Amino acid sequence: MSALTWAYRGPAAPLPAAAREALFARATMTDDAVRSAVAAQLTAVRADGDDALRRFAATFDGVDALTLEVPRAEWMRALEAIDPTLRAVLERAVRNLREVHAAFRPTPHEMTTADGVVIGRRPDPLARVGVYAPGGRAAYPSSVLMGAVPARVAGVGEVILCTPPGRDGRPSDVVLAAAAIADVNRVFAVGGAGAVGAMAFGTATIPAVDRIVGPGNAYVAEAKAQVAGTVAIDSPAGPSELLVLGDASADPALVARELLAQAEHDPVAAVVLVTDSASLETATLDALEGLVASAPRGAIVRAALAARGAVVRVASLDEGIAFSNAWAPEHLLLAVHPAREAATLDALRHAGTIFLGAAPSVAFGDYLTGANHVLPTGGAARAFSGLSTDDFVRWTTYQRIPRTAAAALAGDVGRFADAEGLPGHAAAARAWEGR
């Protein structure tokens, strides 16, 4: 029997108050110290611009006299320096991202009302967007691709990238190579809340953008939240999440591998198994115990399970669907009998992305399927969607009103305006009566 420690293991109903707090209060993880530190950094960037960014690089990254912008020649050298096999993988990922995001690109629409008014909506690409890619101790070229490629597909005029410098003052070769492959315009070796502030407010070197996208640590997430009134951002983001909804037909070994893969991200990653099958629960936990024992990041996995891991027993698949919709996971892995798959998928309403089929590994979506891995966390999937070309356009609405339509509408518009106490509006409309 598995000896793993879980934040909660028991029935979905009733869910104890302490378990509900641990599992559902994922969107409030930023503490007062983080909020205050981020606010101070944003204030400094607004006031001191590039000088503040260089101070932060010395303090947080150990880099003195940082050159903020990375010349394009260095990207190209990095592109030539990386392993050719890895380069081919990055290029394959970009091809898939372009193909998928182009298929779902927003398109203009126009219709005519019964009164003869023509209403149109046109998607206009944003002028400039900023992509944030985490860095420092690890490199995340996938984050570069996930942010930059859909922006390019949407027709954004300029894409800039901010990513933390290494000890040598520059981002890793693989991140720079990804920037080259994804057709980024400019790269800045700037990380953390300072980078978010620079993209929001602009500095002498880093231009202000229309939208900031991309994942990051708690400081980056908090900075994006604090600048959201100044610049558009993507969905709120936090530690990685996975909910597996499984029945007796699921493969316990597969489920265990997926739980471990997401839990290894972070000690506060959230992973949940929801099942109506006692046999799946037991076999999965036994398999997971064996995997964790030999996992290179086993300590992180154990910490995540103890902090925000759960095994939730439900009486039926319908109860499991209700729990999943309430929890609103970033990643949802559907491991049910194929005969139940379509109906279950239709009933699942709140998830960043759903994996199903014979080989539903989240890892495929993280890197190569062409779907986007920048997804809402912390329950935000109840209202937010994953990053797509929709995030890189704004909609222009236009209205063409012929004389006949104006004459037909004038009287009722005048009455509406009178009811709201706006005589000028009423007069403007009534001028078209009988014309």
- Packing angle, helices 218-226 and 32-48, rounded to 10: 60
Residue 170 CA: distances (Å) to CA of 12, 69, 215, 379, 433: 48, 9, 19, 35, 68
Token pair for residue 237? 């983001």
* Cα–Cα distance for residue pair 410/39, rounded to 1 Å: 51
The dihedral region occupied by 169, where left means phi > 0, alpha psi between -120 and 50, and beta the remainder, is left
Which residue among 74, 330, 350, 373 is the active-site one?
Answer: 330
Within 8 A by CB and 6+ apart from 340, the residues are 247, 317
Q: Is 319 a residue of the active site?
A: no
CA distance 201 to 222: 16
CB-based contact 228:248 (threshold 8 Å)? no
Residues 74, 222, 258, 331: which is the catalytic one? 331
Q: How far apart are CA 150 and CA 147, in angstroms?
A: 6
**Residue whose C-alpha is closest to residue 305's, from 14, 85, 1, 2:** 2
> Can you read off the two tokens belonging to residue 57?
């690089």
Nearest residue to 160 (alpha-carbon basis) of 127, 204, 124? 127
Listed residue (235, 239, 255) closest to 247, CA to CA: 255
| Distance separating alpha carbons of residues 349 and 327, to the nearest angstrom | 11
Q: What share of the chain is helix, strand, coil (3-state, %, to 5)?
A: 50, 15, 35
Whole-angstrom Cα distance, residue 278 to residue 283? 9
Q: Read out DSSP for 98-132?
A: HHHHHHT----EEEE-TTS-EEEEEEEE-SEEEEE
Q: Rounded to 10 degrees, what is the CA torsion of 192, 205, 58, 45? A: -60
Catalytic site residue 91? no
Active site residues: 330-331
